[in-house]
Copies of this chain bind each other. A is one copy, B any other.
Amino acid sequence: MSSKKSEYHHGDLRESLLKAARETLEQEGASGLSLRDLARRTGVSHGAPYRHFASRQDLLAALAAEGFNELSQCLRAKEDTSLKAMGEAYIAFAVVNPSLYKLMFSPELDRTKPQFLSDSASEAFNRLRKQTGRADQDQSGTLAAWALVHGLSGILIDRLLAKELLDPEELPELIESVLGHLDIAKSNNGSQKID
């Protein structure tokens, strides 16, 4: 399909850019990601990316959207298991894609125009809520579950834990213990608590 062809038109820049961006993102961090370097590595001129992304922020936003989709998928896969399993999947995604996860919740992102963020975020949130099985009036339980995994993800990503807690051997165990401190996780599985 793609041997020599035209040499002028790339074919599927946009995708190539996103793929290259994804790599440098995890290697260099979000701040080390430049459009020009991206173009250079992809073999196009520095102006080319602007045919596919209105701005650097726009590329970042596309990356973040990709991330939300993947996270959504990870959660969907665990939909029919326990709340704990979902939380562990959530944290696993964050730890495997640290820079991407950080980017997804970066305040710099233009969250206004495509409401992709509120959409994907609220979809994940709803998925979580279904799992918590709470009444609609009290979403504090769902929010607590989300906050717990979100916070633990950030702590792990940023390596804020003392060394003795970071033993990768016992990490899954630690995560499970932490998630266990949520009262919802205990009375799990269809139990409705009366307020």
Say whether A77 faces chain B, with CB atoms less than 8 Å apart.
Answer: no
Determine the residue in chain B with the shortest Cβ distance to A161.
B143
A158 touches B99 (CB 8 A): no
Interface of A is mostly: helix
A138, B180: Cα distance in complex, Å: 12
Stretch of A2-10, A12-20, A45-53, A182-190 that contacts chain B: A182-190
A158, B140: Cα distance in complex, Å: 18
B184 touches A183 (CB 8 A): no
Counting every copy of the chain, the complex holds: 2
Determine the residue in chain B with the shortest Cβ distance to A176.
B140
- Residues of B within 8 Å of A105, CB to CB, are 154, 158, 160
**Chain A positions 154 through 187: 1 when the CB is less than 8 Å from some CB of chain B, otherwise 0:** 1101111110010000000010011111111010
- Residues of B within 8 Å of A149, CB to CB, are 147, 151
A186, B165: Cα distance in complex, Å: 25
A150, B139: Cα distance in complex, Å: 18
> Which residues of chain A have a CB within 8 Å of any CB of chain B?
29-31, 98-99, 102, 105, 107-108, 111, 117-118, 121-122, 125, 138-141, 143-155, 157-162, 165, 174, 177-184, 186
The 5 closest A-B pairs by CB, nearest first: A151-B151, A140-B177, A147-B151, A150-B151, A144-B181
